[in-house]
Amino acid sequence: MSNDLRDKYLRAPADSADGPLRRFRVGRRALLQSLAGGVGAAVFASRAAAAEHMHLAQATMQGNPETNSTAESAHVFLDAHAFATLAILSEQIVPGSRAAQVPEFLDRLLAVEATDTQKSFMQALGAFEREAREAHAKPWKSLTAEEATALLTKISTQPESEPMRMSFDAVKEAVAETYWESEIGMKELGWNGSVAFPPPTSTCA
């Protein structure tokens, strides 16, 4: 999947003025809201509604509560469970995203976004959580590699008009754009610290 994203990014025009979360701002709110029911909404409520959902979120958190609290303190917007989900999902979509600190960047970016944008992103993330729980009765972060790959394949091959596919495409774009604009991603595209070169092409002898 990452090679396809790399090729797409190389061909795409420089139109990222609105940032990697732009798809959550334009025409996505109503569709993403339809995905927010059930477990996903409880686990991934926006900060604006966090107080009323906190007891449900805590019920789904795994591990030591003190550890979760410590981990959450390092995040600006996401709670520990949502951050872990985004981190794992980012790595599955674009390998290397963790090293490039993609989830950390998106967490900071979300903190300064409008409430509607935050809500749309959290609902999209919650849609992945719901898919995992419906298919395997466990959160996305607890899926095996095989289970996650199967679900991502299923989601990514749905018609583009399907709400779940739209959530996938929006999250994928946010992760991919953040990765390719990171130092690690730029070097992969050919940047050497001063000059960007086109990617190498294979030649036949």
φ, ψ dihedrals at 181, nearest 5°? -100, 0
Amino acid at 165: R
Most confident of 34-38, 144-148, 197-201: 144-148
Q: Are 192 and 110 in contact (CB under 8 A)?
A: no
What is the C-alpha separation between 168 and 127, in angstroms, rounded?
A: 9
- The residue with greater pLDDT, 68 or 187, is 187
φ, ψ dihedrals at 196, nearest 5°? -95, 130
What is the C-alpha separation between 165 and 159, in angstroms, rounded?
A: 7
Percent of the chain with pLDDT over 90: 48
pLDDT at 179 over 80: yes
Q: Are 111 and 77 in contact (CB under 8 A)?
A: yes
The lowest-confidence range among 18-27, 61-70, 191-200 is: 61-70
Average pLDDT over residues 44-71: 39
- Residues 6 or more apart whose CB falls under 8 angstroms from that of 24 comprise 32, 113, 117, 120, 121, 124, 170, 174
Summary mean pLDDT of the chain: 74
- The residue with greater pLDDT, 197 or 76, is 76
- Model pLDDT for residues 61-94, shown as the tens digit of each residue: 344 444 344 444 478 999 999 999 999 999 999 9
- The residue with greater pLDDT, 32 or 46, is 32
What is the reported pLDDT for 135? 97
Q: Which residues are 196's β-sheet partners? A: 191
| Domain spans in the chain, listed from the N-terminal domain onward | 2-9+19-188
- Model pLDDT for residues 133-177, shown as the tens digit of each residue: 999 999 999 999 999 999 999 999 999 999 999 999 999 999 999
Average pLDDT over residues 2-30: 58
